[in-house]
Amino acid sequence: MEVIVFGLNHKTAPVEIREKLSFSKSQISYAHKECINSQIVQELMILSTCNRVELFAVVNSTEESVKALKEFLAKFHHISPQILDDVSYFYTQKEAIRHLFRVACSLDSMVIGEPQILGQLKEAYNQALEDRSIGSWLTELVERSFHVAKKIRTETGICKNAVSISFAAVELAKKIFDKIEGKSVLLVGAGEMSELAARHLLSNGVTNIYVANRTHERAEELARQFNGQVLPFASVKENLELMDIIITSTSAPHFLFNKEEVQKTLHRRKNRPLFFIDIAVPRNVDPAVSKCSDVYVYDIDDLQMVVNSNLLERQKEAKYAETIVERFVEQFWEKLNSRNVVPTIVELTQKFEAIRQQELKKAFSKLPNLSDAEREVISCLASAITKKMLHDPICLLKKKSNCSNTAYYIQAAKELFNLDGFKRP
């Protein structure tokens, strides 16, 4: 029994191929049943997202199964197996476990740390459970990967910092105001990006949104969407002191806010901080405004820079996450292997016990006049001999349970002690 992964992802295959190979929900269900029924694999779980199509399987013979899976996939999606050869990968044993853990932790994602993949994996898992294509091995492995993902999420910062411009704006607001609940936001101009940023602010607890736009209808439309109020474009400056966060995105060719005005506003609001998010190009806020203390001005480039450094931070955390994943891979691998050895050890002791019983019976039938105490001594003697003889082989098997050639030792033990009976010549 071996765990394998066969598939392709955004790193190995372009979107033209990924889209051809992706599975719909009903297709997954069909494929699950088909592969299990035709005995290509023992257990199967198909994960199909826009960035990856992967088949996690438990098989008896790796090479045959990979070949069969490849053929199945090619036939299923009507593409030639040669194309699949170029874009797919397969991992076995430890590598397969590592791959699943990394996928679950979003270390293999296009944007490291993005949270969707775990949900998609859970969906795939539930589908496989429903189709009964998944057995004890994969169940344990996948459940374990969820555990690892949770651990990574809480112990590292790979999904902490914003990686989109509009989220970065919200994050910056939180670094300035801490809690943005109850803060007032002013949208000057109505662009797509400012709308997005406003939406994120809303979902983070901002309640007062004001919209000012040159065309009144558009302002009203936006205000309705955000449950906010319309502010006449001309009265923006008088009302500036009520605002905490100002998002500008007009196409005005000149600066809408200059240093002197903002300075005056600050006095009126007792120096409570102001945060300008200037998404417009050309810029709407004079860069000199940022010289006022307690005023922070971020233009589109600044926000991009924050995103970039957030990405770097995630990569740093990802390195640490990899070491944690590695620890879990080792752990799981050991467990799997010790499980490989355990049946052999059980068979071994059972066989020796059977021999002991048999020989004792023979001996006792030849010596019918023994007292109970004497029988006891002989029985103990036999037991001690078998135990001592088995001690070293069992220790060796346990010790070898997590090396690469475990299977070899298991095979050797089976053949040396003829554990499979007379099935093997």
Question: What does the binding site for other proteins look like in residue numbers (CB under 8 A)?
Answer: 154-155, 157, 160-161, 172, 174-179, 269-273, 290, 293-294, 296, 298, 302, 305-306, 309-310, 313, 320
Residue 268 CB-half CA count within 13 A: 14
User: Could you tell me the smallest distance in angstroms from the CB atom of residue 228 to other proteins?
Assistant: 23
Print burial letters for 290-317: b (CB count within 10 Å at least 16), e (below 16).
bebeebbbbbbebbeebbeebbebbeeb
- Contact assessment for residue 163 and residue 310, using Cβ atoms and an 8 Å cutoff: yes
**From 35, 50, 159, 403, the catalytic residue:** 50
User: Could you tell me the smallest distance in angstroms from the CB atom of residue 226 to other proteins?
Assistant: 24
| Residue with Cβ nearer other proteins (8 or 172) | 172
User: Could you tell me the smallest distance in angstroms from the CB atom of residue 253 to other proteins?
Assistant: 25
Print burial letters for 14-51: b (CB count within 10 Å at least 16), e (below 16).
eeebbeebbbeeeebbebbeebbeeebbbbbbbbbbeb
Task: Please name the helix (run of DSSP H) or strand (run of DSSP E) that holds residue 46, with its range, or none.
Answer: strand 43-48
Print burial letters for 327-361: b (CB count within 10 Å at least 16), e (below 16).
ebbeebbeebbeebbeebbeebeebbeeebeeebe
Q: Give CB contacts under 8 A, 24+ apart, made by 202-205.
A: 202/226, 204/170, 204/174, 204/180, 205/179, 205/180, 205/181
- Contact assessment for residue 274 and residue 290, using Cβ atoms and an 8 Å cutoff: no
| Residue with Cβ nearer other proteins (293 or 369) | 293
In the block, tokens 């036999």 appear at 382
| Residue with Cβ nearer other proteins (270 or 366) | 270
Print burial letters for 213-222: b (CB count within 10 Å at least 16), e (below 16).
beeeeebeeb
Q: Tell me how far apart the alpha carbons of residues 200 and 170 are, in angstroms, rounded to a whole number.
A: 7
User: Could you tell me the smallest distance in angstroms from the CB atom of residue 327 to other proteins?
Assistant: 14
| Residue with Cβ nearer other proteins (259 or 356) | 259
State the first-to-last Cα distance of the chain, in angstroms, to the nearest integer. 22
Residue 275's DSSP bridge partners are 245, 296
Q: Interhelix angle for 116-130 vs 136-155, to 10°?
A: 160
Q: Tell me how far apart the alpha carbons of residues 409 and 407 are, in angstroms, rounded to a whole number.
A: 5
| Residue with Cβ nearer other proteins (13 or 277) | 277
Q: Is 403 part of the annotated catalytic residue set? A: no
Q: Tell me how far apart the alpha carbons of residues 37 and 34 are, in angstroms, rounded to a whole number.
A: 5
| Residue with Cβ nearer other proteins (216 or 291) | 291
User: Could you tell me the smallest distance in angstroms from the CB atom of residue 152 to other proteins?
Assistant: 12
User: Could you tell me the smallest distance in angstroms from the CB atom of residue 299 to other proteins?
Assistant: 10
| Residue with Cβ nearer other proteins (263 or 402) | 263
| Residue with Cβ nearer other proteins (331 or 411) | 331
User: Could you tell me the smallest distance in angstroms from the CB atom of residue 91 to other proteins?
Assistant: 30
User: Could you tell me the smallest distance in angstroms from the CB atom of residue 244 to other proteins?
Assistant: 11
Active site positions, annotated:
50
